[in-house]
Chains A and B, each alone.
Chain A
Amino acid sequence: MKTIKVNVVTPDGPVYDAEVEMVSTKAKSGELGIMAGHVPTVAPLTIGAVRLKNGSNTDYVAVNGGFLEVRPDVVTILAQSAERAETIDLARAQAAKARAEQRLQNNDGSNDAKRADLALKRAINRIQIAEMR
């Protein structure tokens, strides 16, 4: 099967770089699956998982927003932070989740609540992906 090159890049350096058969991820407008030969596209992503399928093997990367760029020969995901499932620190993610929940409970409807909500989403996303490996 034809493969396509995938780069996941964050400000702290590249996270993932390999040839895969299919990339599927969640864009703001819905689920998006990309295979080799896709038309050039740009789409913003939500906090979620990127599934990179290669044969029987599937890799997972947790991304925190960012966007996806598709070109004929390469897919690039630019996110402000991203982690591969293998490198997620489950204990830390759970601590972050507890902290965010704590903050949400005694929120006063300010900007902080929004931030805590986002932090909670990121933590839940990381925990889910860590459990998939």
Chain B
Amino acid sequence: MASLRDIKSRITSTKKTSQITKAMQMVSASKMNRAEANAKAYVPYMDKIQEVVSSIANGSTGASHPMLVSRPVKKTGYLVITSDRGLAGAYNSSILRHVHKTILERHKSNDEFVIIAIGRVGRDFFVSRNMHVELEVTGVPDQPSFADISSLAKSTVNLYLNELCDELYMYYNHYVSPIQQDVTETQVLPLADFNTSNAAMTSYEFEPNAEEILEVLLPQYAESLIYGALLDGKASEHSARMTAMKNATDNAKELIDSLSLQYNRARQAAITQEITEIVGGAAALE
């Protein structure tokens, strides 16, 4: 049986760990709220741009653009959004497992795809497996602004336009609720299927013409898809971290409870033993 002092020091150290995890839980909770608000503030922009893009792309103007047309796929781009730091439960591992599995299924050699990594964990994962990481961004702030990733988004779209990849998939954790995040796969490019159900679409005048507008609009649209996914991913990251830290705090509490019980038993045993010794000693003197 462990000595009293051993148990005592384990209790103290567990207590300290639980204080840290508790603090991290609360920090993540407040970050999650802000991330969620950011993701919500972004919805109007996304809705608007989607509306305009689909009405132009579906318009009878016959306008076409390389980003709307699928071409034979020689190289696939995978944009993977992970976090920079761990301690977020299954947040990173579930995405990476999914992407890795998909890549192994779809491709035979490492030349058939490129990786675009947002977040250090994802970058390190692919680099250590000798996969080609074409673009990377690490150190994205907790409340990213569009400027933080606009250069990455732009270069990603350029990869497609310069035919360095022929399709682009995006992987991130979609924020459903504070306790649920789903790994999501979205095809970003080519922008193939637009929702054609909104029949009551306005027919626009194009100034100067539809082609030139698509030239400006489609890259902007693809970039905003990426930014939207990042915001969504950030909200998931914080909520995943919050849940993980809550579990850690709960586990620590349980551990402290059982250790305290052990400690009290050991203390009692020691006292009992002492009394027995005294009584035994007194009896020997008589």
Contact = CB atoms under 8 A, between A and B. Distances in A.
Nearest to B203: A40
B216 interface: yes
Dominant SS among interface residues on chain A: strand
Interface in B200-231: 202-208, 212-213, 215-217, 220, 223-224, 227
Contact of A42 (B41, B52, B227): B52
B19 to A, nearest CB: 36
A66 B213 CA distance: 10
Interface in A71-108: 71, 76, 78, 80-81
A76 B123 CA distance: 38
Interface in A32-70: 32, 39-44, 65-67, 69
Nearest to B216: A44
A109 interface: no
Contact of A43 (B41, B42, B202, B207): B207
Given A12-B146, A78-B48, A80-B150, A29 B207 contact: yes
A12 B216 contact: no
Interface residues of A, number: 26
A14 B47 CA distance: 12
B42 A13 contact: yes
Nearest to A14: B44
B58 to A, nearest CB: 13
A80 to B, nearest CB: 6
A67 B145 contact: no
Nearest to A115: B151
Dominant SS among interface residues on chain B: helix
Interface in B9-56: 41-42, 44-45, 48-49, 52, 56
Given A42-B52, A78-B49, A32 B207 contact: yes
A81 B213 contact: no
A99 B128 CA distance: 38
Contacts of A9: 44-45, 48
B200 to A, nearest CB: 12
A80 B220 contact: yes
A22 interface: no
A41 B205 contact: yes
* List of 4 A-B pairs having minimum Cβ-Cβ separation, nearest first: A43-B207, A13-B41, A11-B146, A44-B216
Interface of A: 7, 9-14, 27-29, 32, 39-44, 65-67, 69, 71, 76, 78, 80-81
